[in-house]
């Protein structure tokens, strides 16, 4: 395939050289004459493992060359990969200046292109940037229609500086945000034969995946560093602690807990986070990430309450009360906290949880609920249907099959989903359905 790569920084230089090495004909495009001259001389414009040798090899073979002529690059290729920078603006927002400029230039070149061409954005950009900003620019300057006269896709990169060539050829995944199937097919063909799962998704989903990755990477580093600082202050070897932590592939290094849902609770997580933060403060160690986990959890719970308040309705049904399915433990359950807030604001509340019975609540569990919901016995219903018939607003905090069977479809009842019920995707189009975090 004939490919033009716009922007010869780290991502563009590596993408261009690797695609050329994979057998494609590639032209690199950059406004900086030093970068284009370096590439044409067989030298990489960036310092990166293996990129120097690879660039020399593909330039010598005639598979890669560089220019500053946008029109020639676009009209002479089938695909344009946009790899320009998206730096932070002074206020922290994303600067799309380079993206806009290149999109306009590519659009103008497309007006002179007689064949089908696909524009693929590799640059990191927030959801909505492509469809709301860049596609209109391409259509305005080209005079064509995206998805008809030219293709558009978003293909975020997951290349680490220092190992980007290796990462290109051994990707953990390939993400293709496609405007239409044809555009996605073109991008998929670029990476044919490479390992890793391929995800073909809507464009905004593809845009967001890079932010999800990088935010989590930053969070992991910050978590490890804060925990290390606490360990040091307590006289412990943090690496020995983390060796044990990392050995757990069932919960710690796994998909566990990484699905958006309701707030966490129970007798362990809140208590232990408070204890760890308190120990850090006593040792005079600042741990802003750890210190804000519980406030973040509290904000998530508040969102659920606000969704009820915004309906303006007063009769509320709550499915689920224990802190997680399969237990009757109510201690620090976010559903108990939500019920307490609703009662405190005068809502007419009914609750159903098949695992919770006043006669079976004992010890600390009974003491906790007596202090938070002293009249729980009067609020508990005998069946999901009883709750559904009572409520104008249903809060779903349980995936109990009897609860799911009682949930209405459409109609006047507002259904606020706290757990993402199995048919959430179908319900999203229904009147009255609201997902907490999806």
Boundary of a domain, candidates 151, 171, 203? 203
Choose between 370 and 391: higher pLDDT: 391
281 is a domain residue: no
User: Taking Cα atoms as reference points, which of 133, 168, 134 lies closest to residue 150?
Assistant: 134
Residues whose CB falls within 8 Å of the CB of residue 399, separated by 6 or more in sequence, listed in order:
325, 419, 421, 422
Residues whose CB falls within 8 Å of the CB of residue 10, separated by 6 or more in sequence, listed in order:
46, 48, 159, 161, 164
State the binding site for substrate.
Answer: 158-161, 210, 257-261, 265, 324
Domain CATH code at residue 160: 3.40.50.720
- One domain, residues 199 and 302: no
269 is a domain residue: no
State the binding site.
Answer: 30, 35, 86, 124, 158-161, 210, 257-261, 265, 271, 324, 331
In the chain, the N- to C-terminal Cα span, in Å, equals 38
Boundary of a domain, candidates 203, 220, 252? 203
Among 30-34, 404-408, 411-415, 428-432, whose mean pLDDT is lowest? 428-432
- One domain, residues 198 and 315: no
Q: Where are the alpha helices (DSSP H) in 174-202?
A: 181-190
277 is a domain residue: no
Question: Which pLDDT tens digit goes with each residue over 243-298?
Answer: 999 999 999 999 999 999 999 998 889 999 999 999 999 999 999 999 999 999 99
Rg (CA), the chain: 27
State the binding site for NAD(+).
Answer: 30, 35, 86, 124, 161, 271, 331
- One domain, residues 35 and 159: yes
Question: Which pLDDT tens digit goes with each residue over 125-143?
Answer: 999 999 999 999 999 999 9
- One domain, residues 18 and 136: yes
Boundary of a domain, candidates 152, 170, 203? 203
- One domain, residues 7 and 146: yes
**Residue 327: pLDDT over 90:** no
- One domain, residues 55 and 192: yes
Number of domains forming the structure of the chain:
2
Average pLDDT of the residues in 406-428: 94
DSSP H or E run through 222: helix 203-233
Question: Which pLDDT tens digit goes with each residue over 11-57?
Answer: 999 999 999 999 999 999 999 999 999 999 999 999 989 999 999 99
- One domain, residues 43 and 147: yes
Q: What pLDDT score was predicted for residue 23?
A: 96
Q: Domain range spanning residue 341?
A: 296-435
The SS3 assignment for 2 reads: strand
308 is a domain residue: yes
Question: Which pLDDT tens digit goes with each residue over 340-369?
Answer: 999 999 999 999 999 888 888 888 888 888
**Residue 372: pLDDT over 90:** no
- One domain, residues 68 and 195: yes
- One domain, residues 174 and 305: no
288 is a domain residue: no
- One domain, residues 66 and 197: yes
- One domain, residues 195 and 74: yes
259 is a domain residue: no
Q: What pLDDT score was predicted for residue 92?
A: 86
DSSP designation for 120? E
Q: What pLDDT score was predicted for residue 104?
A: 98
How would residue 78 be classed by pLDDT, with cut points 50, 70 and 90?
very high
Rounded Cα distance between 302 and 21, Å, is: 53
Just list the catalytic residues: 268
Q: What is the average pLDDT value for the chain, to the nearest integer?
A: 95
69 is a domain residue: yes
360 is a domain residue: yes
CB contact at 8 A, 65 and 27: yes
Question: Which pLDDT tens digit goes with each residue over 228-247?
Answer: 999 999 999 999 999 999 99
Rounded Cα distance between 189 and 183, Å, is: 10
**Residue 9: pLDDT over 90:** yes
């Amino acid at each position: 395939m004939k490919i033009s790569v716009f922007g010869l920084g780290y991502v563009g230089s590596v993408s261009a050289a690797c695609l050329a090495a994979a057998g494609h004909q590639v032209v690199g495009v950059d406004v900086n004459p030093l970068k284009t001259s370096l590439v044409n001389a067989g030298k990489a414009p960036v310092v990166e493992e293996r990129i120097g040798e690879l660039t020399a090899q593909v330039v010598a073979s005639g598979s890669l060359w560089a220019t500053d002529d946008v029109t020639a690059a676009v009209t002479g290729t089938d695909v344009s990969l946009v790899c320009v920078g998206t730096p932070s603006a002074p206020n922290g927002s994303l600067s799309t200046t380079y993206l806009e400029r290149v999109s306009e230039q590519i659009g103008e070149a497309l007006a002179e292109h007689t064949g089908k061409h696909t524009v693929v954005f590799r640059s990191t950009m927030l959801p909505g940037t492509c469809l709301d900003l860049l596609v209109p620019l391409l259509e305005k300057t080209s005079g064509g229609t995206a998805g008809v006269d030219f293709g558009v896709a978003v293909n975020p990169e997951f290349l680490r500086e220092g190992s980007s060539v290796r990462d290109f050829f051994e990707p953990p995944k390939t993400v293709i945000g496609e405007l239409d199937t044809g555009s996605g097919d073109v991008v998929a063909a670029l990476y044919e034969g490479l390992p890793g799962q391929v995800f073909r998704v809507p464009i905004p989903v593809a845009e967001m995946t890079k932010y999800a990755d990088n935010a989590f990477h930053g969070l992991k580093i910050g978590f490890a560093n804060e925990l290390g600082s606490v360990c040091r202050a307590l006289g412990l070897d943090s690496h020995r602690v983390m060796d044990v932590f990392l050995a757990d592939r069932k919960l710690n290094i796994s998909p566990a807990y990484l699905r958006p849902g309701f707030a966490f609770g129970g007798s362990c997580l809140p208590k232990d986070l408070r204890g760890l933060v308190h120990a850090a403060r006593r040792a005079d160690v600042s741990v802003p990430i750890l210190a804000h986990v519980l406030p973040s959890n509290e904000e998530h719970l508040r969102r659920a309450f606000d969704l009820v308040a915004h309906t303006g309705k007063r009769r509320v049904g709550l499915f689920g009360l224990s802190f997680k399915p399969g237990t009757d433990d109510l201690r620090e359950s976010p559903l108990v906290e939500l019920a307490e807030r609703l009662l405190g604001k005068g809502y007419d509340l009914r609750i159903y949880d098949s695992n919770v019975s006043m006669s079976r609540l004992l010890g600390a569990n009974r003491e906790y609920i007596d202090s938070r919901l002293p009249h729980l016995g009067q609020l508990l219903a005998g069946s999901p249907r009883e709750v559904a018939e009572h409520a104008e607003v249903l809060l779903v905090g349980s995936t109990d099959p009897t609860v799911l069977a009682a949930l209405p479809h459409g109609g006047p009842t507002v259904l606020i989903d706290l757990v993402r019920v199995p048919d959430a995707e179908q319900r999203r189009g229904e009147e009255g359905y609201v997902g907490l975090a999806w």
